[in-house]
């Protein structure tokens, strides 16, 4: 619902939270579960894609244990 409400700060915060939780496994699939609610703005979708590109990378120090 965060995406459909176009809560820009919360959209990025939700991605960062989920990405940090997945760090140990070095894997995260961030998707809409097959549904984008009516009223979801394209700007919100673009924002989350930009956040994924900018912040969604593991660096060389993140190695599997």
pLDDT in tens, the chain (65 residues): 788 888 899 989 998 998 888 887 777 777 767 778 888 899 998 998 899 899 888 776 655 54
Strands annotated E in the chain? none
Q: How far apart are CA 55 and CA 5, in angstroms?
A: 22
| Maximal C-alpha separation, the chain | 42
Q: What is the pLDDT of residue 23?
A: 80
CA–CA distances in Å: residue 13 to residues 9, 18, 19, 63, 65? 6, 9, 10, 24, 27
Q: What is the pLDDT of residue 47?
A: 92
Q: How far apart are CA 24 and CA 56, in angstroms?
A: 14
Q: What is the pLDDT of residue 37?
A: 82
């Amino acid at each position: 619902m965060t995406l459909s409400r176009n809560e820009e700060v919360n959209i990025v915060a939700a991605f960062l939270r989920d990405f940090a939780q997945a760090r140990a496994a070095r894997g995260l699939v961030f998707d809409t579960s097959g549904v984008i609610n009516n009223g979801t703005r394209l700007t919100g979708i673009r924002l989350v894609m930009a956040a994924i590109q900018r912040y969604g990378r593991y660096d060389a120090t993140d190695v599997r244990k």
